[in-house]
Amino acid sequence: MAINDPPGARPAGADAVAGGAWRGENGPVPYVITEACVDVKDRACVDVCPVDCIYEGADQLYIHPIECIDCGVCAPVCPVFAIFSEGDVPRAWEPAVAENAAYFRARPDAARAAGKVRRRD
């Protein structure tokens, strides 16, 4: 996508993500929860997230790529070191980037879904 492209233009080779954002070679997903979270689902990340953008799937948590503000406060509190910025995901866990996008592509109304994780009070 070039600087002069109109707002909302689709980058070449990108996959659509719920809500009109794009994920692909030219579209970042700010943070990703990788397979280290599978069957753990510790909620320390949920407790510190200022925008409540973390959702619960069947076996792990997911960060919504549109709602995430790229603040990074979730990553250092993860006890299993499962959260990475997209560019820092270890090669062995790179499939998590596409899996995260697919999770939200399949749930266009994720913000209203039962999978929304609530903070502990």
**pLDDT category of residue 39 using cuts at 50, 70 and 90:** very high
Whether the pTM exceeds 0.75: the reply is no
Quote the DSSP letter at residue 13.
Answer: T
**pLDDT category of residue 37 using cuts at 50, 70 and 90:** very high
Structure confidence at residue 13 (pLDDT): 34
**pLDDT category of residue 23 using cuts at 50, 70 and 90:** very low
3: its two tokens: 């600087």
Q: What is the pLDDT of residues 56-91, one digit of tens each?
A: 888 999 998 888 999 999 999 999 999 999 889 999
Cα 73 to Cα 46: distance, rounded to the nearest angstrom:
10
